[in-house]
Amino acid sequence: MNAALVRTLALLEARVRLRRASTLVTVLAVVALSWLIVCDPARGQALMTIGGARVRYTSSMLALGSAAQASLLFALAGFYLLRGRMLEDQRSGMGGVIGASALGGRPFVLGRWCGGVLYLLALIGASMATVLACHLVRGEGPVEPLVYLSTYLVVLGPMALFTAGCAVLWDSWAPLLGKRGDLLYFFVWAGQMGMLPALTEGPAVTTVPFDFSGMSAVIAALSAHVDIRNMALGIADFDPKLAPLTLPASLWRADIVGVRAVSALLACLPLWLALLAFHRFSPDRLKPARAHARRSPLALLNGWLRPLSRLAQPLFGLAARLPGVPGQAMAEVALTLGTAPTAIALLLAAQVLALVLPAHLLAPLVLACVACWGVLVSDLSTRDVDAGCAPMGAAVPGGGARRYWRQLGATFLLGLMFSGVAALRLAGLAPLRALALLSGLFALAAFATMLGRTSGSARTFLVLFLFGLYMGVQIHNVPMADVVGFHGTATLMSVLAWSAMGAAAAWAGHLWNRRPGGMDTHRLAG
Amino acid sequence: MLDLQNVTKSFGKQPAAVSDLSLRLAPGVVGLIGHNGAGKSTLMQMIATLTRPSSGRILFDGVDIAARPEAIRRRLGYLPQDFGVYRNVSALEFMQYFAALKGVRDPARIRRLLELVNLHEQAGRMASTFSGGMLRRLGIAQALLNDPDVLVVDEPTAGLDPEERLRFRNLLAELGFNKLVLLSTHIVSDVESIAGRLAIMKSGRLVACDTPDAILGRARGQVWSATVDAFEYDVLRATTHVLQALRQGERIALRIAHPSLPCAGAQLSEPSLEEALMAQRYAVNETVREAA
Q: Is the pTM of this model over 0.95?
A: no
Same domain, yes or no: B103 and B164: yes
Same domain, yes or no: B222 and B190: no
Among B170, B195, B210, identify where a domain stops. B210
Write down the number of H helices and E strands in chain B.
9, 14
Same domain, yes or no: B186 and B231: no
Per the CB < 8 A criterion, the answer to whether A56 and A47 are in contact is: no
What is the rounded CA–CA span in Å between residue A443 and residue A499? 6
Q: Which residues have C-beta within 8 Å of that of residue B290, sequence separation ≥ 6? A: none
User: Which residues are bridge partners to A237 per DSSP?
Assistant: A45
CB pairs under 8 A between A and B: 112
Task: Give the side-chain half-sphere CA count within 13 A for B3.
Answer: 8
Out of B89, B101, B102, name the one closest to residue A338 (CB).
B89
| CA dist list (Å): A520 to A509, B53, B140, B249 | 15, 11, 22, 53
Count how many residues are written for chain B: 292
Element (H, E) at B65: none
Task: Give the side-chain half-sphere CA count within 13 A for A300.
Answer: 4
Res A231: pLDDT: 82
Same domain, yes or no: B75 and B129: yes
Strands B180-185 and B150-154, how do they pair? parallel
Amino acid identity of A132? L
DSSP-assigned states of every residue in A345-373? HHHHHHHHHHHHS-GGGHHHHHHHHHHHH
Please, what sign has the CA dihedral across residues A364, A369, A372, A373? negative
Predicted-complex ipTM score: 0.75
Same domain, yes or no: B130 and B38: yes
Q: Is pLDDT above 60 for A105?
A: yes
Res A23: pLDDT: 84
Same domain, yes or no: B38 and B132: yes
Instruction: Give ∠ CA A357-A358-A362 in degrees, rounded to 5.
Output: 70
Per the CB < 8 A criterion, the answer to whether A64 and A221 are in contact is: yes
Same domain, yes or no: B190 and B227: no
Q: Choose among A312, A214, A287, A303: nearest CA to A257.
A: A214
Cβ contacts (< 8 Å) between A339 and chain B: which residues? 86-89, 93
Higher pLDDT, A461 or A289: A461
What is the rounded CA–CA span in Å between residue B3 and residue B64? 9
Q: Choose among A462, A446, A412, A455: nearest CA to A180.
A: A462
Res B283: pLDDT: 61
Element (H, E) at B255: strand B251-257
Higher pLDDT, A19 or B59: B59
- Enumerate residues 322 to 361 of chain A having a beta carbon within 8 A of any beta carbon in chain B: 323, 327-328, 330-331, 334-335, 338-340
The beta-strand segments (E) located in A245-355 are none
Q: What is the domain extent for residue B265?
A: 217-291
**Phi, psi angle pair for A55, to nearest 5°:** -100, 135
Mean pLDDT on A275-280: 90
How many structural domains compose chain B? 2
Among B179, B210, B241, identify where a domain stops. B210
Q: Is pLDDT above 80 for A289?
A: no
Q: What percent of chain A has pLDDT over 70?
A: 94
Per the CB < 8 A criterion, the answer to whether A366 and A415 are in contact is: no
Element (H, E) at B145: none
Same domain, yes or no: B185 and B264: no
Res A439: pLDDT: 96
Per the CB < 8 A criterion, the answer to whether A17 and A207 are in contact is: no
Neighbours of A476 (CB within 10 A): 12
Per the CB < 8 A criterion, the answer to whether A479 and A494 are in contact is: yes
Res A102: pLDDT: 76
Q: Choose among A214, A239, A187: nearest CA to A79.
A: A187
Per the CB < 8 A criterion, the answer to whether B204 and B15 are in contact is: yes
- The residues of B whose Cβ lies within 8 A of any Cβ of A are 11, 45, 48-51, 69-70, 73-74, 76, 78-80, 82-89, 93, 96-105, 107, 139, 142-143
User: Which residues are bridge partners to A336 per DSSP?
Assistant: none
What is the rounded CA–CA span in Å between residue A482 and residue A502? 15
Q: Which stretches of A173-282 are DSSP H helices? A: 179-194, 196-200, 215-223, 254-266, 269-277
Same domain, yes or no: B153 and B243: no
User: Which residues are bridge partners to A48 per DSSP?
Assistant: A233
Mean pLDDT on A154-174: 94
Same domain, yes or no: B123 and B267: no
Instruction: Give ∠ CA A312-A313-A315 in degrees, rounded to 5.
Output: 70
Q: Choose among B137, B182, B175, B174: nearest CA to B157.
A: B137
Q: Choose among A266, A260, A268: nearest CA to A153.
A: A260
Cβ contacts (< 8 Å) between B125 and chain A: which residues? none
What does the CA dihedral A138, A480, A477, A28 come to, rounded to 10 degrees?
-40
**Domain containing residue B43: CATH number:** 3.40.50.300
Cβ contacts (< 8 Å) between B158 and chain A: which residues? none
Same domain, yes or no: B205 and B250: no
Residues of chain B with pLDDT under 70: 281-292
pLDDT band, residue A295 (cuts 50/70/90): low
pLDDT digits (tens, 9 = 90+) for A108-153: 999 999 999 999 999 999 999 999 999 999 999 899 999 999 999 9
What is the rounded CA–CA span in Å between residue B129 and residue A290? 12
Task: Give the side-chain half-sphere CA count within 13 A for A267.
Answer: 26
Q: Choose among A401, A490, A399: nearest CA to A440.
A: A490
Q: Is pLDDT above 90 for A300?
A: no
Which residue in A87, A296, A313, A396 has the most chain B C-beta atoms within 10 A of its own C-beta, making it the best mutation to test that interface?
A396
What is the rounded CA–CA span in Å between residue B151 and residue B144? 8
Q: How far is CA A441 from the centre of its chain?
A: 17
Res A291: pLDDT: 42
Q: Choose among B11, B4, B13, B76: nearest CA to B42.
A: B11
| Nearest residue on chain B to A520, alpha-carbon basis | B51
Mean pLDDT on A207-229: 86
Out of B11, B88, B102, name the one closest to residue A397 (CB).
B102
What is the rounded CA–CA span in Å between residue B212 and residue B220? 12
Mean pLDDT on A453-462: 86
Q: Choose among A478, A492, A477, A474: nearest CA to A438.
A: A492
Q: Is pLDDT above 70 for A316?
A: yes
- The CA-to-CA distance between both ends of chain A, in Å, stands at 34
The shortest C-alpha distance from B32 to chain A (Å) reads 19
Q: How far is CA B181 from the centre of its chain?
A: 10
- Enumerate residues 263 to 302 of chain A having a beta carbon within 8 A of any beta carbon in chain B: 302
Q: Choose among A229, A251, A265, A337: nearest CA to B88.
A: A337
Asked if A45 has any chain B CB less than 8 Å from its own CB, the reply is no
What is the rounded CA–CA span in Å between residue B111 and residue B91? 11
**Phi, psi angle pair for B242, to nearest 5°:** -80, 120
| A75: region left, alpha or beta (phi > 0 left; psi from -120 to 50 alpha) | alpha
pLDDT digits (tens, 9 = 90+) for A400-409: 889 999 999 9
Asked if A399 has any chain B CB less than 8 Å from its own CB, the reply is yes
**Phi, psi angle pair for A434, to nearest 5°:** -65, -40
| CA dist list (Å): B10 to B7, B56, B148, B225 | 10, 12, 28, 41
Lowest mean pLDDT: which of A208-212, A332-336, A437-441, A494-498?
A208-212
Cβ contacts (< 8 Å) between B99 and chain A: which residues? 316, 320
- Would you call B103 helix, strand, or coil by DSSP? coil
**Phi, psi angle pair for A378, to nearest 5°:** -60, -30
Among B191, B210, B229, identify where a domain stops. B210
pLDDT band, residue A292 (cuts 50/70/90): very low
Q: Is pLDDT above 80 for A229?
A: no
Same domain, yes or no: B58 and B198: yes
What is the rounded CA–CA span in Å between residue B149 and residue B138? 19
- Would you call B58 helix, strand, or coil by DSSP? strand
**Does the distance separating the beta carbons of A399 and B85 come in below 8 Å?**
no
Cβ contacts (< 8 Å) between A398 and chain B: which residues? 70, 73
What is the rounded CA–CA span in Å between residue A71 and residue A294? 35
- Three-state SS across A498-525? HHHHHHHHHHHHHHHHHCCCCCCHHHHH
Q: What percent of chain A has pLDDT over 90?
A: 46
Res A524: pLDDT: 39
What is the rounded CA–CA span in Å between residue B176 and residue B170? 10
